[in-house]
Amino acid sequence: MAVVEVEDVMFAYSDRPVVEDVSLEVEQGDFLGLVGPNGSGKTTLLELMIGLRRPDSGSVRLFGQPAHASETGKRVGFVPQDVAETEGEMPVTVREVVRMGRYPRRLFGRFTDEDRAAVDAALRRVEIEDLAERRVGRLSGGQRQRVFIARALAAEADLLALDEPTVGVDAESREAFYDLLGELNDEGMTIVLIEHDIGVVTSRASEIACLNRELYFHGDPETFVETDALSAAYGDGQSIVHHEH
Amino acid sequence: MSGQPLTTVARPLQSLDGAISFVLDVLWGSVMDVLAALTGIEMLGFPFMQRAYLAALCIALIGPLVGSFLVHREMAMIGDTLAHSAFAGVAAGLFVNSLAAVTVPPLLSALVVAALAALLVQSLIDYAGAYRDTSLAIVLTGSFAVGSVLITATGGGIAVGINAYLFGSLATVSRGNAAILLAMSVVVVAAVAAFYRPLLYVTFDEVGARAAGLSVTRYNQLLAVLTAVVVVGAMQIMGVILVAAMLVIPTAAATSIRGFKRSIAGAIGAGLVATLSGVTLSYLYDVAAGGTIVLVAIAVYVASMLAVRAQE
C-alpha cells in the first residue's frame, strides 16, 4: 500500500517556485532518503508530504487521504529540523515530551493504562527510560533526537518524517541513531529522511529521491550512485558532502 | 402592571448581587476576619484590604498560569501589548460614559478591546507574515495612541479616572471589580485545565503539533485571549504599565524547576510571595501596589537565580 502519493505537485513561495512537477510514491516499509542541494525544496516537499503545507497544484495523499486532513496527523511522527541543536530553557521533562505523542488520541480526559504503557514502551525502545525525568533542554543532541523518536513511537505512528535530524550530533551518536532508524524500518516503520550526507543516505535508505526543485532521480541507492543525477541536481562545481561508511 | 417587567429584570440582578455578596462578604470576608482576629493584624479586617488580598491571590494564580505558556514561546511581550490595548478599552469605556447616559464598566470595555487586540495580533503573526515583535509594537503603540486621543477628546474630564488604571491602586478594587476578577480567574483556570495538553504541545513544538493534526491557530488564539483576560483582571492593582510583569517574572523565576507542571506551580508560588507581600508593603508604606509587587517579584527572581547558581 502506498503511504504517501505525491502527484504533479507544484509549490511556490509567492512567485518563487520551490517544488515543480514532482510525483513520487512512498510504499509501506520504505526508507526514503531525500537529497538535494541547499534550497532545493527538500524541506518543503517533506512538509507537503505530511500535510504541513498544501500544494498550489497537484495532490498529496497520505494513507489514502488528502495529506492536510487532520486525521492523518495521528499516524505521522515528525522530527523537526535542528532539534539536536536547540537547547531550550523550557522546563519540560523527557517523559512530558514523549507523552505528547499520545495527545492526538487523548487531547482531553484522563490518560488510560494503555496510554501510559505506550509511553513507557517508547522510552524503553529507544533506551532513554533512565532519562525520563531529566529536562529535554539539558540533554545532548543525540539524546534529544531519541526523545523525538520516542514521541513518534508513543503516537504509534506509521510514518516517521525526519528533517536533517543529525545536524550538530557527534559521529558516534549519529551512527547509533541511524542504527536505530534501520531497526525501526526493519520492524515495519516507513521512514522519510532528509539528509545532507549522501554517504549516509545511500548506505541506509532503501529508496533515494534526488531533488532540486524538480525530481532528478527516484529509485534505489545502487542505481542512484551509478547515474549522474547527483551532479545534475547539484550542478557542476558544487561541493557534495560525502563520507565513507 | 408597570412593576411587572421591572421585577423580572431586577430578580437576576439581585441574585447576582446576592452571589457576589455571599462569596466576598460571607466566605472570603469571614475567613479574613478570623485571620485578622487570630493574628491581631488589623488591616486584614478592612474590607478594602480583604478585596485587595483576594485580588492578589487571583493575580498570583492566573498570571504565571498563562505566562508559563507565553514565556516559553518567546511571546512575553504580548502581555504588555494587550495591556496597552486594554488601556484603550478603559479610555473608550470612560469616553462613552462621559457622552452617553449608559454606564459601561471600564473593565468590561477593556476586556472586549484587549480580546479583539489579541485576535488581531495573532492574525497579524499568522497571515500577514509580519515580524512578530513588529506587529506587537504596532498594536501596542497604536492602542495607546487611541487611548490618549480619547482621553483628551473629552477635554481632560476623564483623565482623573484613567490614572488609577495606568498605575494601579488598591483602592481600584471595588466590590464589582473584585467579583469580575474572581469570575475571570475561574474562567482562566478552567480553560487552562481543559486545554492544558494542546497548549503545552503548541508551546513546546508548534510544527510538531501541526503535523500531529492539532489546530494550532485555534490554540494560539485561545492563549492570546486568555492573556487578554489575565491582563485586564490584573490591571486594577498592577496598572497598565506594569501588569505584564506578572506574566513574565514569576515564570522566569521558576524556569529552573524540572517538569512543566511543577514549574507552573513554582511560578504561582513566586507570584503569591510577590503579590501578598507587595500588597502588604504597599499598604504599610503607602506606596504604589503595582510597583511594590514587581520589585518583590524581581527580588524573588534574583534569589532563585542565585540559588540555582549556588547549586551548580
Please work out, in degrees rounded to the nearest 5, the angle formed at the alpha carbon of residue A90 by the alpha carbons of A89 and A93.
115
Q: How confident is the model at residue A240 (pLDDT cuts 50, 70, 90)?
A: low
d(CA B3, CA A90): 60
A-chain CB neighbours of B261 within 8 Å are: 96
Q: What is the separation of C-alpha A76 from the centre of its chain, rounded to a whole number of angstroms?
A: 9
Averaged pLDDT score across all residues of chain A: 87
Residue bearing the bigger pLDDT, B5 or B148: B148
Averaged pLDDT score across all residues of chain B: 87
Residue of B86, B45, B62, B38 lying closest to B267 (CA atoms):
B62
- Residue B88: its pLDDT value, please? 93
Q: HSE on the CB side for A177, CA within 13 Å?
A: 29
d(CA B124, CA B134): 10
Candidate from A73, A93, A97 with C-beta closest to B213? A73
B-chain CB neighbours of A92 within 8 Å are: 200, 204, 259-260
Domains of chain A, with CATH numbers? 2-86+157-234 (3.40.50.300)
Q: Which residue of B has its CA nearest to A90?
A: B72
Q: How confident is the model at residue B268 (pLDDT cuts 50, 70, 90)?
A: very high
pLDDT in tens, B24-78: 888 898 899 998 888 888 888 888 899 999 999 999 999 999 999 999 887 778 8
The residues, any chain, with a CB within 8 Å of residue B230's CB and separated by 6 or more, are: B62, B63, B65, B66, B67, B79, B184, B188, B246, B247
| Residue A65 identity | Q
B-chain CB neighbours of A148 within 8 Å are: 208
Highest mean pLDDT among A134-138, B208-212, B236-240, B262-266 belongs to B262-266
| Residue B145 identity | A
Contact A43, A196 (CB under 8 A): no
| Residue A100 identity | M
Contact A11, A18 (CB under 8 A): yes
DSSP conformation letters of A194-221: E-S-HHHHHHH-SEEEEEESEEEEEE-H
Residue for grid cell 500535510? A51
Do residue B201 and residue A103 have CB atoms under 8 angstroms apart? yes
d(CA B262, CA A92): 9
Domains of chain B, with CATH numbers? 1-45 (no CATH), 46-311 (1.10.3470.10)
Q: Which of B127, B202, B260, B311 to mutate to test the interface with A (most CBs of A within 10 A)?
A: B260
Residue A119, all three cell numbers: 509511553
Candidate from B203, B208, B258 with C-beta closest to A133? B258
Spell B253-263 as b/e; 16+ CB within 10 A means b.
bbbbbebbeeb
What ipTM is given for this predicted complex? 0.89
Q: How confident is the model at residue B156 (pLDDT cuts 50, 70, 90)?
A: low
Do residue A52 and residue B210 have CB atoms under 8 angstroms apart? yes
Please work out, in degrees rounded to the nearest 5, the angle formed at the alpha carbon of residue B168 by the alpha carbons of B163 and B169.
105
What sections of chain B are H helices per DSSP?
A: 3-21, 30-39, 47-71, 77-99, 106-123, 132-153, 159-167, 175-194, 196-204, 206-211, 216-238, 245-253, 260-285, 289-311
Q: Which of A43, A60, A63, A90 to mutate to test the interface with B (most CBs of B within 10 A)?
A: A90
- Helix (H), strand (E) counts: chain A: 8, 10
A92 in helix, strand or coil? coil
Do residue A78 and residue B256 have CB atoms under 8 angstroms apart? no
Q: Which of B74, B192, B205, B217 to mutate to test the interface with A (most CBs of A within 10 A)?
A: B205
Q: HSE on the CB side for B268, CA within 13 Å?
A: 12
